Structure 1
Amino acid sequence: MLLAIDVGNTRIKAAVFEANTLFDAFIFVKEEFAEKIEIILQQHPKITTMVVASVGNLDPSAFSSFEKRTKIEFISHKTKFPFQNLYATPNTLGIDRMVLAAGAVLQFPKQNRLIIDAGTCITYDFVDADDRYLGGAISPGITLRYESLHHFTAKLPLLTKSYPENFIGNSTTESMHSGVVNGVISEIDSFIENYKTRYAKFIIILTGGDADFLAKRLKNTIFANSNFLLESLNQTFQYNQK
């Protein structure tokens, strides 16, 4: 069995796989890392490998106590990926974005693919039908927008995400919800429409912590899977084993 670990900017996600079957999934904060990994290994004693993708500030030494029990593989820019990277600055491309692109290529062969990861940041990544990674975009995620409104103003409160009751907010709270949530939805729909002007057909993959929150509000038909990065980690590892 394999334990896939995604170390994000705010949280850590993990999932246990047997081949391509996801058996169990976990979400926790970095402060709980050692404790949670220990619990997972006890619950799933057949785990032989950890595969890790990290964009967060978790020191790799945090894994050292588990090295005698499992093999640990860190995905890096030196890892083999199933696409040609045409990014102008390939060494600055986030490992999470590369893993998502790999998963899109492996799960949806011979198609144009747009991967939207709605997490701390919203990232857009496009891989064409010839398996060429072309690039994308990065913008603030939902929580980051709420936090920015609170931290960089004198009187606006810190809110948690919520669907606005009306497009026209009739209070400060509702105005903030409308601005943030409708702003993100409009942004994503606009990005998709821009891609449609260049590509007649492509699959849209929506993932990340806010994927389920956003999926039903978007105009375009999408494939929503909040575990897509973890699945892509598992597939990237298998691709390299072959």
Structure 2
Amino acid sequence: MVLAIDVGNTRIKASVFEDNTVLENFVFEKNELEKKIKKILEKFQNCSDLIVASVGNVEKQSFLAFEKELNIHFFTHEDIFPFTNKYSTPKTLGIDRMILASGATLQFPKQNRLVIDAGTCITYDFIDENDNYLGGAISPGLRLRYEALHNFTARLPLLTLDAPESYIGDSTAQAIHSGVVNGFVYEIDGFIDEYQGNFANFIIILTGGDAEFLAKRLKNTIFANSNFLLESLNQTFQYKIDND
């Protein structure tokens, strides 16, 4: 068994895998890390490997506390990936984005793939049908957009995510919801249209914490999987074992 952990900007997500089958998923705060890992290992005592992809601020020592019980691997730019990295600054490409690109390459061979990860930030990552990672885009996620409107204006309230009643907001709150949510959806659909206009044999993968909220609002046909990063992390680990 493998325990895969994704340390994000906001929270930590984890999954236990038996080969490629997910046995259980977990979500918890960063200050709960060691306690949660202990509980997971008590429940899944056959776990042999702990694999980590991290963009968040968590000390490695928190994981190394378990090195007597598990083989621990932190994914880095030096690892083996199933694509060719064409990013002009390859060492600055986030490990989470590399893991997503890896999962897309392994799960959807010989296709053009656009991975959209809607979390604290929204990232777009494009891997062509020849397994070249070409790049993508980064912009603020839904929560950051709400916070920016509140933090950088004098009077706009801080709202939490809610579906707008109409694209015409008839109150300040509804205008904010319309601007944030509809603007977000139009952005994603606009990027998808641009890629689809330039590449055939195309698949769109939507993931991240806001994937389910967004999936039914997008006009384009997508493959939505909120657990895609952890599944990709496990698949990349299996790929590494097979190709070391």
TM range (shorter): over 0.9
- Paired residues for 1:173-192 under 5 Å: 173-192=173-192
- Paired residues for 1:190-229 under 5 Å: 190-229=190-229
Q: Which residue of 2 aligns with 1:128?
A: 128
How far did residue 152 of structure 1 move? 1.1
Q: Please, which moves more after superposition, 132-141 or 27-36?
A: 27-36
Q: Given the alignment of the two structures, is residue 95 of structure 1 paired with residue 95 of structure 2, yes or no?
A: yes
How far did residue 61 of structure 1 move? 1.0
Amino acid at match of 2:108: F
- Paired residues for 1:103-118 under 5 Å: 103-118=103-118
Q: Which residue of 2 aligns with 1:11?
A: 11
Gaps of 5+ in 1: none
Q: Please, which moves more after superposition, 96-105 or 32-41?
A: 32-41
Amino acid at match of 2:99: V
How far did residue 194 of structure 1 move? 0.6
How far did residue 27 of structure 1 move? 0.7
How far did residue 36 of structure 1 move? 1.1
CA offsets, 1:4-48, max 9 Å, x none? 000000010000000000010011110111111111111111111
CA offsets, 1:165-219, max 9 Å, x none? 1110111111110000001000000000111121123100000000000000000
Take 2:22 and 2:236, find their aligned partners in 1: how far apart are those partners? Answer: 15
Q: How many correspondences in the alignment?
A: 242
Take 1:107 and 1:214, find their aligned partners in 2: how far apart are those partners? Answer: 22
For the residue of structure 1 that corresponds to 2:226, the secondary structure is coil
Q: Given the alignment of the two structures, is residue 170 of structure 1 paired with residue 170 of structure 2, yes or no?
A: yes
Amino acid at match of 2:178: S
Take 1:63 and 1:186, find their aligned partners in 2: how far apart are those partners? Answer: 40
> For the aligned residues, what is the CA RMSD?
0.6
Q: Given the alignment of the two structures, is residue 27 of structure 1 paired with residue 48 of structure 2, yes or no?
A: no
TM-score (norm 1): 0.99
For the residue of structure 1 that corresponds to 2:80, the secondary structure is coil
Q: Contact (CA 8 Å) 2:112, 2:200: kept in 1 or not? A: no
Task: Give percent identity, aligned residues only.
Answer: 66
Segments ≥4 residues shifted beyond 2 Å = none
Amino acid at match of 2:31: E
For the residue of structure 1 that corresponds to 2:111, the secondary structure is coil
How far did residue 74 of structure 1 move? 0.4
Take 2:98 and 2:206, find their aligned partners in 1: how far apart are those partners? Answer: 15
Take 1:229 and 1:235, find their aligned partners in 2: how far apart are those partners? Answer: 10
How far did residue 231 of structure 1 move? 0.2
Take 2:115 and 2:64, find their aligned partners in 1: how far apart are those partners? Answer: 33
Gaps of 5+ in 2: none
Take 2:39 and 2:145, find their aligned partners in 1: how far apart are those partners? Answer: 34
Amino acid at match of 1:156: L
How far did residue 151 of structure 1 move? 1.1
Q: Which residue of 2 aligns with 1:39?
A: 39
Take 1:157 and 1:57, find their aligned partners in 2: how far apart are those partners? Answer: 29
Take 1:36 and 1:109, find their aligned partners in 2: how far apart are those partners? Answer: 35
Q: Contact (CA 8 Å) 2:64, 2:72: kept in 1 or not? A: no
Q: Which residue of 2 aligns with 1:2?
A: 2
Amino acid at match of 1:177: H
